[in-house]
Amino acid sequence: MDPADAPDEDAAETSDRSGDDDAEALDGGVPATAPTVAARPFSDELKDWLEADSPKTLGALDATFGERSFAVAVLLLMFLPALPLPTGGITHVFEAITVIIAVQLVIGRRSLWLPERWKHRELGGVTTDKALPWMMRRIRWFEKFSRNRGDGLFDHVWVRRLLGLIFIVFAVGAAFAPPFSGLDTLPALGAVGVALGVILGDVVVLAIGFAIGVGGITLIVTLGAAIAKFFQSLF
């Protein structure tokens, strides 16, 4: 054999081994590394939904956000009650709808159901033009610090049922807060925090929201008991 041909043979042998390694990787012997695609931030998804030409209704949430539509709906509905603004009791409508949505989580539904009248009612211009963009800026701030901590936990049916019960307690607590006390904002803010934690897949955000909501419920019960005791003392 001509020594000059040896490098060519070695190169061919190396090429064959490389081809075998590639084939082995394709066959599953060596797992090929695929590039991972980062999930889009929720604030960007919400922005796209707001800027799309489709109607801005609660019924459209299910088609856009899938199983997250429950948490997104609670976030949108309880956002206004969470603001420290006088609302004249109009937020009770949002709290009632939140209870209906939360009951569906408790019974194990996977898709959002709403009465036809509510399903096709569009969100007001003030909500889509001012309130939601303001909320998106706050969500972006949370997204800077949020991490995927316990995302898979929310797929379990019993966890979803527990979340439904939490939403019910916070919504009812906000609805029955003493008038003009401002305490309805705390349970509502707790519901918003829990919903945001579910959407971001972050149990830390969820825990913060839960703590705020429980604190608000505790204050409401304490104040309510004090008011009841005061009136009892008058008779």
Res 11: pLDDT: 47
Res 37: pLDDT: 40
pLDDT band at 124 (very low <50, low <70, confident <90, very high): low
Average pLDDT over residues 212-217: 94
Res 31: pLDDT: 46
pLDDT band at 235 (very low <50, low <70, confident <90, very high): confident
Percent of the chain with pLDDT over 70: 78
Write out pLDDT tens, residues 98-119: 999 999 999 988 888 887 777 7
Res 183: pLDDT: 80
Write out pLDDT tens, residues 8-20: 544 444 445 444 5
Res 126: pLDDT: 53
Domain borders along the chain are: 1-34, 42-234
pLDDT band at 169 (very low <50, low <70, confident <90, very high): very high
Q: How far apart are CA 59 and CA 226, in angstroms?
A: 41
Q: Which of 1-5, 78-82, 191-195, 221-225 has the lowest mean pLDDT?
A: 1-5
pLDDT band at 182 (very low <50, low <70, confident <90, very high): confident
Average pLDDT over residues 115-135: 71
Residue-averaged pLDDT of the chain: 78
Predicted model pTM: 0.75
